[in-house]
Amino acid sequence: MRSAYAEMARKRRLPVVPRTAPIRTEEPVRTPERPVRGGPHALDAAEGPRGVAEYHGPVSTQQRRELPIVEQAAAVHALAVDAHTAARIAPDVASGPPLDALGRRLHDLRISVTDRCNFRCVYCMPKEVFGKDFAFLPRDQVLSFEEIERLARIFVGMGVEKLRITGGEPLVRRDLPDLIEGLARIRRPDGGPLDLTLTTNGAALRALAQPLRDAGLQRITISLDSLDPDVFGAMNGVDFPVSRVLEGIAAARHAGLAPIKINTVIRRDLNEASILPMARWARDEGLILRFIEYMDVGHSNGWRMDDVVPEAEILARIDAEMPLEAIAPNYAGEVATRWRYVDGSGEVGVIASVSEPFCSSCTRARLSAEGKFYTCLFAVAGHDLRALLRSDRTDDQIEAGVRAVWRLRDDRYSDLRTEATTALPKVEMFAMGG
């Protein structure tokens, strides 16, 4: 008799892990009964309820400058078209949610508030590349909270229903609760509230969970790649203790942030033995766990296909001990496949950008800390919105440019992934707000 995963695998033509298939692991895994698919702590000195004082805060009005007309023209050109051209080529979608060249709507906006991070995770900002001398964005090039809120209102007016605050590590941005408070006041065109959430490594969450909740944050996602202190320290690159992240998770629960999701990036021969311990722990704690396949974002993480643990293998390991059944996505375009435990004890998901691309339903846009608009995580370049914000462009003009860019969007990198595409110039994940 087929399990729910095996049946889903058959329908989607996914690889089904056979009963005799070897699974590379450092801990014993039962054979499936049926086919199935330490070092310096960066926040110790500066952590506080309002963020990290040494990192950049909002850009003041005195720091803003008027752009020369040449730079304004270049900025509009970077957006592909100006407002008048946008109105001519897209009169039928001048209002309402825009659709891209493949018919995908704009639903999610991920907003990076900083390119800085207090971790040096091996899959994002390896310390060998991003050392003490690495030049991050100067303060005056980072969007102010007022600029972020203005762009958020423009995007929401176009149909965006979900805002996710990212980085870098967003909690190192000073006075972040002030931004959350402003974003929480934004309403959709129908008057309903936004889905406002944030992704963090959890290092500063113990102090910030309650201020963020009080400011209007609804829920939160925390990155945690292993419960094993040695494995976690090796993956975060600064030997940050896992116990501190667990304290942050407890603080988020106490503050009333819900649901709490956990993101776990799995890399072959580094933390694949953590799959089952993470699944057991998250189920027992009532947390929603999302495994993420190791991705070829940017050029600094040394990505190889051999290092990817595919969705089929991840689910096979879990299903062998804790049987799973498929459940529907929360909304059209959700990137994680969702599975619940047959005994009703919770759910787990997998973001399988490599083995099972979801480009055809991707509804995400990204706004970098410096104000660049990206239409794909694997984009080779962004569109400069900061220049428009700091010129005399109106909200309508900026919206027209964004609509025009989205209408031309035809990104489907993961569908087309080959040796040739992986060699393309790409923006680092921390820079665009992965």
To which residue do tokens 């049946």 refer?
Answer: 7
Say how far apart CA 81 and CA 70 lie, in whole Å.
15
Q: What is the mean pLDDT of the chain?
A: 79
The encoded tokens of residue 25 equal 């692991």
Residue 414: per-residue pLDDT: 65
pTM (predicted TM-score):
0.78
Residue 96: per-residue pLDDT: 80
Residue 7: per-residue pLDDT: 53
Average pLDDT over residues 338-350: 96
Average pLDDT over residues 9-29: 37
- The CA–CA distances, whole Å, from 174 to 52, 61, 375 equal 6, 17, 27
Q: Is the pLDDT of residue 20 over 90?
A: no
Say how far apart CA 110 and CA 369 lie, in whole Å.
11
| pLDDT tens column, 405-428 | 999 998 776 656 555 555 555 556
Residue 122: per-residue pLDDT: 83
Q: Which residues of 221-242 are buried (b: 16+ CB within 10 A; e: fewer)?
A: bbbbbbbbeebbbbbbbbebeb
Average pLDDT over residues 344-351: 95
Average pLDDT over residues 236-244: 96
Q: Which residues of 96-127 are buried (b: 16+ CB within 10 A; e: fewer)?
A: ebbbbeeebbbbbbbbbbbbbbbbbbbbbbeb
Confidence grade of residue 352 (pLDDT, cut at 50, 70, 90):
confident
What residue segments make up the domains of the chain, in order of their start?
4-18+30-432
Q: Is the pLDDT of residue 211 over 90?
A: yes
Residue 38: per-residue pLDDT: 30
Say how far apart CA 258 and CA 217 lie, in whole Å.
10
| pLDDT tens column, 37-83 | 233 333 333 344 344 433 333 333 333 333 333 333 334 444 544 43
260, 253 in Cβ contact below 8 A? yes
Q: Is the pLDDT of residue 275 over 80?
A: yes
Between 98 and 333, the higher pLDDT residue: 98
| pLDDT tens column, 287-336 | 999 999 987 654 454 456 778 999 999 999 999 999 999 999 988 878 88
Average pLDDT over residues 180-204: 97
Fold of domain 4-18+30-432: TIM Barrel (3.20.20)
- Amino acid identity of residue 250, one-letter, is A
